[in-house]
């Protein structure tokens, strides 16, 4: 039985004919029926964090963000480049990006970004946020899927690869289970949120605010 609290993986969605994850808007946990406890843990084994910077940096910053979140897009457009230059590229911060799934379109975007592989992942992230207003606000699911595939193509992915990625129901389930596990452990309630050496800070932080928190964590 489908209700607003469930995420299901369905086949042949619209004219695109792909197996997309269907997520009724407004839903909350549990996001996947049956994915709890040992089953949930099993579903997360293939999902790896995508990171930037030195793993041995003195401070670890984990950003929790949704590809459909306007505040996340604003942070990446206005703050992240400078934060990367000043803190990640200088070896002061090990940066971890973790996706949050509040809706199905954010999940699909994540699947496309991860399909590009770790070397191209953050390039796709940049494209997704830069073009968010063009794809994430479309009302038609097939149109959103086609827009996401165009973004994937800009990153060098071919049509067959993109179709296969968006048909990967196992990956969709694993990503949602991984997100649920992260959110429960770290107390993720909104996006963007930043876990800085184990301390959670919510909201779209400025460079000065984020830098001050990193400096405090570094001692």
pLDDT one-digit tens code per residue, 101-147? 998 899 999 999 999 999 999 999 999 999 999 999 987 888 999 99
Which helix (DSSP H) or strand (DSSP E) does residue 144 occupy?
helix 141-154
pLDDT tens string 52-65:
999 999 999 999 99
Measure the CA angle with vertex 87, ends 82 and 92; round to 5°: 175
pLDDT tens string 34-52:
333 333 444 444 799 999 9
Q: How confident is residue 96, by pLDDT bands cut at 50, 70 and 90?
A: very high
Query: Length of the chain in residues, anyone?
Result: 219
Q: For residues 151 and 187, what is the distance between their CA atoms, to the nearest angstrom?
A: 31
Taking phi first (over 0 means left), then psi (-120 to 50 degrees means alpha), and beta for anything else, what does residue 130 get? alpha
Reduce the DSSP state of residue 51 to 3 states and report it.
Answer: strand
DSSP 102: S
Instruction: Round the CA-based radius of gyration of the chain to a whole number and report it.
Output: 17
Q: 8-218 domain in CATH 3.40.30.10?
A: yes
pTM for the whole structure: 0.83
Taking phi first (over 0 means left), then psi (-120 to 50 degrees means alpha), and beta for anything else, what does residue 18 get? beta
Residue with the bigger pLDDT between 27 and 128: it is 128
Q: Quick one: 98 exposed, middle or buried, by C-beta within 10 A (0-12, 13-18, 19+)?
A: buried
Would you call the peptide bond into 30 cis, given omega within 30 degrees of 0 as the criterion?
Answer: yes
Per-domain residue ranges of the chain: 8-218
pLDDT of residue 158: 95
No. of helices (H) and no. of strands (E), the chain: 10, 7
| Mean pLDDT, residues 76-101 | 97
Question: Which residues, in sequence order, are CB contacts of 138 under 8 Å at separation 6+?
Answer: 144, 147
Q: How confident is residue 22, by pLDDT bands cut at 50, 70 and 90?
A: very low
| Mean pLDDT, residues 140-165 | 93
Half-sphere CA count of 181, side-chain side, radius 13 A: 19
């Amino acid at each position: 039985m489908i209700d607003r609290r469930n995420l299901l993986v369905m086949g042949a969605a619209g004219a695109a004919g792909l197996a997309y994850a269907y997520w009724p808007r407004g839903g909350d946990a549990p996001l996947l029926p049956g994915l709890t406890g040992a089953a949930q843990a099993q579903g997360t084994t293939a999902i790896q964090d995508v990171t930037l910077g030195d793993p041995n940096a003195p401070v670890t910053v984990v950003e929790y963000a949704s590809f459909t979140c306007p505040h996340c897009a604003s942070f990446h457009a206005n703050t992240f480049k400078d934060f990367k230059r000043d803190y990640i590229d200088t070896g002061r911060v090990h940066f971890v990006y973790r996706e949050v799934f509040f809706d199905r379109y954010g999940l699909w975007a994540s699947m496309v970004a991860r399909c590009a592989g770790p070397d191209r992942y953050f390039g796709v992230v940049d494209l997704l946020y830069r073009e968010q207003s063009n794809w994430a606000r479309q009302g038609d699911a097939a149109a959103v899927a086609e827009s996401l595939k165009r973004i994937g193509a800009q990153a060098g992915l071919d049509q067959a690869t993109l179709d296969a990625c968006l048909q990967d129901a196992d990956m969709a389930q694993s990503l949602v289970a991984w997100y649920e596990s992260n959110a429960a452990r770290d107390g993720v309630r909104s996006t963007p949120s930043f876990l800085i050496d184990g301390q959670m800070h919510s909201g779209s932080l400025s460079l000065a605010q984020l830098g001050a928190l990193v400096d405090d964590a570094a001692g």
